[in-house]
Structure 1
Amino acid sequence: MTRAIGIDIGGTGIKGAIVDLDAGELVSERVKQNTPEGGEPDAIIDTVRQIVDELISEHGGDDVAHIGVCFPAIVRNGRTMSAANVSDDWIGLDADTLFGEALGRDIHFVNDADAAGYAEAVYGAARDQRGLVIVTTLGTGIGSAFIYDGVLVPNTELGHLELDGDDAEHWAANSAREREELSFEEWATRLTRYYRHVEFLFSPDLLVIGGGVSKQHDEFMHLIDVETPIVPAELRNNAGIMGAAALAERHAR
Structure 2
Amino acid sequence: MTHAVENPSTTRPHGLPKRAVGIDVGGTGIKGGIVNLDKGTLTGERFRIPTPKPATPEAVAGVIGEILEELLGREKAPAVAELSVGVLVPGIVVDNQVLSAANIDDSWLECDAGTLLRDLPGQIHTFNDADGAGLAEAHYGAGSDTSGSVMTVTLGTGIGSALVHDGELVPNTEMGHLEFEGEVAEQKASAAARERADMPWDEYGRLLNRYLVHLERLFSPKKFIIGGGISKRSEDFLPQVTDVRAPVVPAQLKNNAGIVGAALHAAEQTRRQAAKR
Which TM class, normalised by the smaller chain length? over 0.9
Q: Which runs of 5+ in 2 are unaligned?
A: 1-16, 272-277
Q: Per the alignment, in what secondary structure is the counterpart of residue 100 of structure 1?
A: coil
8 Å Cα contact 1:132-1:148 kept in structure 2: yes
> Residues 223 and 248 of structure 2 are in contact (CA less than 8 Å); yes or no, is this contact kept in structure 1?
yes
> Could you list the per-position Cα deviations for residues 24-54 of structure 1 after superposition, in whole angstroms to 9, with x for gaps in the alignment?
1100211101100011011000001001101
- Mapped pair 1:32 → 2:48: yes
The amino acid across from 1:6 in the alignment is G
What is the aligned-residue identity percentage?
49
Q: How many residues align?
A: 252
Q: Distance in 2 between matches of 1:59 and 1:35?
A: 26
Aligned to 1:16: 32
Q: Which residue is equivalent to 1:105?
A: 122
Query: Given the alignment of the two structures, is residue 86 of structure 1 paired with residue 95 of structure 2, yes or no?
Result: no
Partner Cα separation in structure 2 for residue 112 and residue 28 of structure 1:
22
TM-score, normalised to structure 1, is: 0.96
Query: 1:131·1:204 contact (CA, 8 Å) conserved in 2?
Result: yes
Aligned equivalent of 2:57: 41
CA contact (8 A) 2:229 2:254 kept: yes
Structure 2 residue aligned with 1:51: 67
SS at match of 1:19: strand
Cα deviation, 1:161-196, whole Å, max 9, x if unaligned, reads 102221011111111111111111110111111111
Structure 1 gap segments, 5+ residues each: none
Q: Is the 8 A contact 1:70 1:240 kept in 2?
A: yes
Question: Quick one: which amino acid aligns to residue 147 of structure 2?
Answer: R
Superposed CA RMSD: 1.2
Query: Residue 243 of structure 1 is aligned with which of 255, 258, 261?
Result: 261
Residue number in structure 2 paired with 1:72:
90
Shift of 1:85: 3.4
Deviation for aligned residue 1:62: 5.4
CA distance in 2, matches of 1:79, 1:234: 30
Measured in 2, the distance between the counterparts of 1:168 and 1:98 equals 32
Distance 1:28 1:43 in 2: 26
* 1:216 is aligned to 2:233: yes
Q: Distance in 2 between matches of 1:23 and 1:132?
A: 21
Checking the alignment, whether the CA contact within 8 Å between 1:96 and 1:107 is kept in structure 2 is yes
- Residue 13 of structure 2 is matched in structure 1 by none
From 151, 156, 159, the equivalent of 2:173 is 156
CA distance in 1, matches of 2:184, 2:76: 45
